[in-house]
Amino acid sequence: MKREFLQNLKIGETALTKEIIDAIMAENGRDIQAAKDAFKDYDAIKDQLETAKTSLAAFEGKDFDGLNAEIAKLRGDLKRKDSEWQAKLDGVNFDNSIKDAIQKAGGRNAKAISALLDMDALKASKNQASDIEKAIAGLKESDAYLFGVDKPTTPPPFSAGSGTGAGGSGGTNDDLSRFYRAAGVEPPKN
């Protein structure tokens, strides 16, 4: 509504006063602003629509069925690889369990003991740790020579021998002289 319209409007013979025109214009302004507020996001939504149209245009002519099939294939490959790595990890953990159990039982040769174990049955076991220990205990009974810690060899205690040398050294001064000559060392002087 325009102010000129209200200024030219007459009720009977009298024109509207300035205060009345101002009040009508203020109320009309609030109504217009309320109507504009309902559409204040129009420009932002219009920009979003244009962006969406541009993005969708990039997908025109694409083979989505082929892409979906490729994605499904890659997911299958990834799942297969995960299974392979998990199987390898389980194998390493199993081998370490066997070696640790053999070492704990005092096995002398882990390779020889492992060769006598039924590895397939132990791998398929629900309680591997217990079954490994039982299998090794069975081998320990049947093939005891594979177990036990080797005792370190120590030299026999010193024996004086049967010689006639002084102090029971088991040798003579001639023997000692020959030893020094053979070693290329000058004998000590007494």
Whether residue 118 is predicted with pLDDT greater than 50 in this model: the reply is yes
Weakest-pLDDT range from 7-11, 96-100, 170-174? 170-174
Residue-level pLDDT at 72: 92
- Look at the alpha carbons of 14, 15, 20, 25 in this order and tell me if their dihedral is positive or negative: positive
Q: Is the overall model pTM greater than 0.85, yes or no?
A: no
Residue-level pLDDT at 33: 86
For the chain, the structural domain boundaries read: 3-56, 66-146
CA dist., res. 75 & res. 82, Å (int): 10
The band of 134, judged by pLDDT with boundaries at 50, 70 and 90, is very high
Residue-level pLDDT at 59: 80
CA dist., res. 184 & res. 178, Å (int): 10
Residue-level pLDDT at 9: 80
Residue-level pLDDT at 63: 82
Residue-level pLDDT at 165: 47
What is the SS3 string spanning the chain?
CCHHHHHHCEECCEECCHHHHHHHHHHHHHHHHHHHHCCCCHHHHHHHHHHHHHHHHHCCCCCHHHHHHHHHHHHHHHHHHHHHHHHHHHHHHHHHHHHHHHHHCCECCHHHHHHHCCHHHHHHCCCHHHHHHHHHHHHHHHCHHHECCCCCCCCCCCCCCCCCCHHHCCCCHHHHHHHHHHHCCCCCCC
Q: pLDDT tens digits, residue range 146-188?
A: 888 555 556 656 655 555 544 445 556 677 778 888 888 877 7
Q: How far is CA 171 from the centre of its chain?
A: 70
Placement of tokens 């009040």 in the chain: 23
